């Protein structure tokens, strides 16, 4: 083989190395992608897709079992034809394995679904503070 071909093969066959900085930026982008949702149900849908990517056995039935509800409720919730009851929020947070640094924001998104923007200036202010604290 010619030296040029060997050189080209050695460059293309090298294992790509990712620095810890690039891994951190990838993790931050995953988090910030979840934080762009204005509806907690969209957030839960994305979170379920992430959990499925990590474990193919993690599905609606498993989540429903962990929460203690019928799987059809979770399905309707993710299709936005049903809202979550306040009594289930804590179990949903656990079942969807919502990271600690996103739980407050998730709860505010849940509250937002009950109080539209502008209906509660206090909630609007808290939601804005929470976004800044999590993403900043």
For 82-91, the pLDDT digits (tens) are 999 889 999 9
- Alpha helices for 36-120 (secondary structure H): 40-54, 60-67, 71-78, 89-95, 100-114
Domains and CATH numbers, the chain: 38-135 (1.10.260.40)
Answer yes or no: are the C-beta atoms of 48 and 96 closer than 8 Å. Answer: yes
pLDDT given for residue 123 in this prediction: 67
pLDDT given for residue 82 in this prediction: 93
Q: Model's pTM, two decimal places?
A: 0.63
Q: Give the C-alpha separation, 22 to 70, whole Å.
A: 40
Answer yes or no: are the C-beta atoms of 108 and 127 closer than 8 Å. Answer: yes
pLDDT given for residue 132 in this prediction: 44
Residues of the chain short of pLDDT 50, as ranges, are: 1-2, 4-32, 132-136
Residue with tokens 């040029």: 4
């Amino acid at each position: 083989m010619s030296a040029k071909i060997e050189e080209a093969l050695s460059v293309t066959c090298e294992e790509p190395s990712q620095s810890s900085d690039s891994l951190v930026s990838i993790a931050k982008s995953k988090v910030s992608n979840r934080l762009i949702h204005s509806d907690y149900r969209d957030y839960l849908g994305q979170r379920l897709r992430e959990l499925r990517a990590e474990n193919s056995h993690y599905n609606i039935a498993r989540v429903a079992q962990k929460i203690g509800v019928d799987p059809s409720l979770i399905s309707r919730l993710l299709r936005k034809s049903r809202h979550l009851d306040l009594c289930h929020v804590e179990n949903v947070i656990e079942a969807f394995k919502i990271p600690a640094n996103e739980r407050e924001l998730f709860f505010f998104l849940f509250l937002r679904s009950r109080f539209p923007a502008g209906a509660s200036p206090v909630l609007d202010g808290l939601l804005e503070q929470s976004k800044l604290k999590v993403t900043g």
